[in-house]
């Protein structure tokens, strides 16, 4: 039996915690806010429905971070990627090189930013830091502690720094994630960022509905109409061009959905419309939602920045960044994962490739 810690008690964190407990491990769940933690402690167990029926009583549910990660063999971080740096700064003084950390997912540049945060916090004995391309499953909550598993991802990729330490963990990781592929570098997992492609654009282009509605508005069905899907594919094309310039092979957003959900359409629009797992996923009801506040600064911004260094124009990605800036009155490029924040400023393509390895 292993001791695992899950940081983040949102939908993904609750689901992962219950699944780990079902496998027979000791599981600690931590969250920044006390309301969810109190509700889960009162409930006594996390219940999963849908594609998986589980009722699991965790060993520790707490707001005390050091208690949660103490003695944990693997620490799963399941919080929005724009909070990775904050949590790294908090953890730096009490995690060590005998532990492993997995960002679920890392988005783009997650491992680099996390290691920098640990180092800045004074960690001189760095753990293995990994990131997955995606969450283990798609899920939605009925209430705290009661979740529907909509689908499990058919495939997922992982990489980390130092990569050499991951191979010994792969059997253990595959027992959790299933069909897990070890990517060559974190540049591969980072540029395979599907959330950055599918989340910000539909939200920005449906902002009128999002800010004024009181009815169900399915993000992937109504939010991504044919014309929106056409723009999303142009944005995806820019991501693929950036990846090719850095010698990284990643799937198109359409191919990724075919691989993970099994439905193949003539274009992205038809592929999304045929994905029954997305039928119950409502669009955000505010623009201050992680589909913008996470996916622009930790996805679109670093992809754009990497493109600029490599001489790859990203006009449609840049347009979405600027539209998000204007509508939310922020500066995602300044505050997001730009080259300076990732420690890549002034580096060329080959130096950047080595930094992600």
Distant-in-sequence, close-in-space partners of 354: CB < 8 Å, separation ≥ 6: none
pTM, two decimals, is 0.94
Rounded Cα distance, 162 and 128, in Å: 6
Residue of 25, 192, 236, 295 marked active site: 295
The per-residue pLDDT of the chain, averaged, comes to 94
Active site residue 199: yes
Q: Give yes or no on whether 3-187 and 194-355 have one common fold.
A: no
Residue of 25, 28, 199, 316 marked active site: 199
Strand partners, 75: 5, 101
CB 304 within 8 Å of CB 317 = yes
CATH architecture of structural domain 3-187: 3-Layer(aba) Sandwich (3.40)
194-355: which CATH number, 3.40.47.10, 3.30.70.2740, 1.10.3470.10, 1.10.1040.10? 1.10.1040.10
Q: For each successive 10 residues of the chain (357 residues), what is the average pLDDT? A: 94 95 96 93 92 92 96 96 96 92 97 96 90 89 88 89 92 90 96 97 96 92 97 98 97 92 90 90 94 98 98 98 98 97 95 95
Rounded Cα distance, 190 and 250, in Å: 10
Query: What is the per-residue pLDDT across 302-326, written as a single tens digit (0 to 9) for each?
Result: 999 999 999 999 999 999 999 999 9
Active site residue 295: yes
φ, ψ at 280 (rounded to 5°) = -100, 5
Q: What's the 3-state SS for the chain?
A: CCEEEEECCCHHHHHHHHHHHHCCCEEEEECCCHHHHHHHHHHCCEEEEECCCEEECCCEEECCHHHHHCCCCEEEECCCHHHHHHHHHHHCCCCCCCCEEEECCCCCCHHHHHHHHHHHCCCCCCCEEEEECCCCEEEEEEECCEEEEEEECCCEEEEEECHHHCHHHHHHHHHHHCCEEECCCHHHHHHCCHHHHHCHHHHHHCHHHHHHCCCCCECCCCCCCHHHHHHHHHHHHHHHHHHHHCCCCCCCHHHHHHHHHCCCCCCHHHHHHCCHHHCCCECCCCCCCHHHHCCHHHHHHHHHHHHHHHCCCCHHHHHHHHHHHHHHCCCHHHHCCCCCCCCCCCCCHHHHHHHCC
The reply to whether omega before 311 is within 30° of 0 (cis) is no
**Domain range list for the chain:** 3-187, 194-355
Rounded Cα distance, 156 and 135, in Å: 8
Which pLDDT score, from 0 to 100, does residue 45 have?
A: 93
Cα torsion 239, 242, 243, 244: sign: positive
Rounded Cα distance, 230 and 316, in Å: 12
24 class by beta-carbon count within 10 Å (0-12 exposed, 13-18 middle, 19+ buried): exposed
Which pLDDT score, from 0 to 100, does residue 193 have?
A: 97
Rounded Cα distance, 137 and 25, in Å: 19
Nearest to 213 by CA among 110, 283, 273, 260: 283
């Amino acid at each position: 039996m292993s001791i695992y810690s899950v940081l983040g008690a949102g939908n993904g964190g609750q689901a992962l915690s219950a699944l780990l407990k079902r496998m027979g491990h000791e599981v600690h769940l931590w969250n920044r806010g006390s309301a969810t933690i109190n509700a889960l402690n009162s409930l006594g167990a996390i219940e999963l429905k849908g594609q998986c029926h589980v009722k699991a009583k965790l060993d520790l549910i707490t707001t005390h971070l050091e208690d949660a990660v103490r003695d944990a063999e693997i620490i799963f971080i399941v919080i929005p990627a724009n909070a990775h740096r904050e949590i790294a700064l908090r953890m730096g003084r009490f995690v060590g090189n005998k532990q492993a950390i997995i960002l679920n997912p890392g988005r783009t540049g997650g491992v680099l930013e996390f290691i920098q945060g640990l180092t800045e916090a004074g960690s001189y004995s760095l753990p293995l830091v990994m990131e997955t391309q995606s969450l283990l499953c798609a899920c939605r909550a009925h209430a705290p502690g009661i979740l529907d598993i909509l689908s499990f991802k058919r495939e997922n990729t992982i990489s980390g720094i130092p990569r050499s330490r991951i191979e010994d963990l792969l059997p253990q990781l595959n027992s959790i994630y299933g069909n897990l592929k070890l990517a060559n570098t974190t540049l591969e997992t980072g540029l395979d960022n599907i959330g950055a492609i599918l989340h910000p654009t539909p939200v920005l282009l449906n902002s009128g509905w999002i800010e004024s509605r009181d009815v169900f508005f399915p993000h992937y069905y109504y939010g991504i109409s044919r014309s929106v899907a056409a723009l999303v594919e142009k944005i995806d094309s820019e991501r693929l061009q950036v990846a090719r310039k850095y010698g990284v092979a990643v799937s198109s957003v359409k191919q990724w959905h075919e691989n993970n959900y099994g439905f193949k359409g003539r274009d992205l629009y038809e592929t999304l419309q045929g994905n029954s797992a997305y039928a119950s996923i409502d669009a955000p009801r505010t623009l201050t939602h992680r589909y913008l506040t996470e996916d622009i600064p930790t996805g679109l911004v670093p992809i754009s920045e990497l493109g600029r260094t490599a001489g790859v124009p990203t006009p449609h990605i840049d347009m979405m960044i600027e539209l998000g800036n204007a509508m939310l009155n922020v500066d995602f490029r300044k505050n997001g994962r730009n080259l300076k924040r990732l420690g890549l400023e002034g580096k060329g393509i080959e130096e950047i490739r080595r930094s992600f390895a």
